[in-house]
Structure formats: structure tokens, C-alpha cells
Amino acid sequence: MFLQHIENTTSLKPDPETGVLVKFPLAVKTNIIKSILSVLIDPNKPKNLLHSTFSIKWIMECSGCSFSLPAEQHKIIEMGVTLYQDWLFGKNTPPHFHENQNRYFREIFGHFSLLFKTRRADNLSTQKHVELCLKVIQIISDVGFELHDKMDKETWEYLLNILIGICDFILAGKNVEEPILTNKLAPYLLKV
């Protein structure tokens, strides 16, 4: 699951088995995503909830859909960013995560790309959207410095394709409906 523009500009193809929640009504998917993510990022909740690779994939399906929510749902989107940031850098990582770490890294990078999709919103929500995009750009930059030795060649190539797709979308004017996103993100994308 990733920004559709990436499929058009790279050799990456989306997994047809993902994106189930995307098709649900906004209120339903918002409630599901919020309920799940609020438990997983709460430091007082038990962390042994994800006991299999299936449970990790299911949670990632929900979390991934958070990145396609409207900008007004920025608090829920931020929960998804926080969860993935924690998992990438080894905080509260589920037990089976490391068994397929590179596959999960690739999924996370793809999900992050959904955040860069154009969204019409009020000024506050647009500003929050920009802030979340900047946070994800910083996380991706940190991944390059801190996790480079943990990523295999396939994961590096995947990340580079995701970045190319995001940059092409933002910098080549594909995001004309929300020029503030392009104006605010362009300098940071060029640094990655």
C-alpha cells in the first residue's frame, strides 16, 4: 500500500491483498484505526498483544490506512507515525518483527508515502499535515543513518523508489491542489 503516483513513476507494484480498510466508510475506518493505534502507543497498555506475524500484518494494515485519512484526523495519523517510528528504531517492537524486519520496513516506507497525498483542509489541519510530512521526512533520513546496516539491498531499493515517487509527486507539481505542501516540503525533500 503506497501513494498511487509511485506505481506510475517506479517499477513498484502494490500488493492487491492490502488496503482493505481504505474501502470502508470514513467513520468506520477512523474508529477502527483510532481504537487500535491508541492501545498500541499507550505506554500503560500491555505490549504482548502482537504475538504472531499475522497479528503484525493486521495491525500494519490498520496503521497503514491511517496515513490516508483526511488531514483533520491528524491526531490519528500522528499515532500511526509514532507507532512506526517506534518499531523502526526498536522501541516496543513486536516479538516477531525482527524475523521479517526488512519486509516490515518496506511496508512502513510505503505506508509513509500515503501521507504525502493531497488533502484539502482548513489552515490548522493543513499545517498539521505539513508537520507530519516533515516528521516522516526526518524519520526516513534517520533510517538512512541509523538503520543502513539492517536493511538488505531490496529494502534500500524499495526505499529509494518510494522517495523518488514522493519527490516526483511533490516537486514536479503533481500536488497542485495543495501548493502549501509543495512549498513547505520541497527544501526538506531535497536534503534527503
- What element of type H or E holds 175? none
pLDDT in the model for residue 177? 58
User: What pLDDT was estimated at residue 42?
Assistant: 87
Three-state secondary structure call for residue 178: coil
pLDDT in tens, the chain (192 residues): 767 667 776 667 767 777 778 888 999 999 999 999 999 998 877 667 888 889 999 999 999 999 999 999 999 999 999 999 999 998 888 888 989 999 999 999 999 999 998 888 888 888 999 999 999 999 999 999 899 899 999 999 999 999 988 888 887 765 555 566 766 776 677 666
State pTM to two decimals: 0.88
Selection from 181, 92, 72 nearest residue 136 by Cα: 181
The answer to whether 13 touches 122, Cβ cutoff 8 Å, is no
* Residue 53 half-sphere exposure toward CB, CA atoms < 13 A: 6
Instruction: Fill in the DSSP letter of residue 45.
Output: S
Of 129, 131, 136, 109, nearest to 178 by C-alpha is 129
Nearest 5°: CA angle at 134, between 130 and 136? 115
C-alpha cell, 85:
517510528
CA atoms within 13 A on the CB side of 154: 9
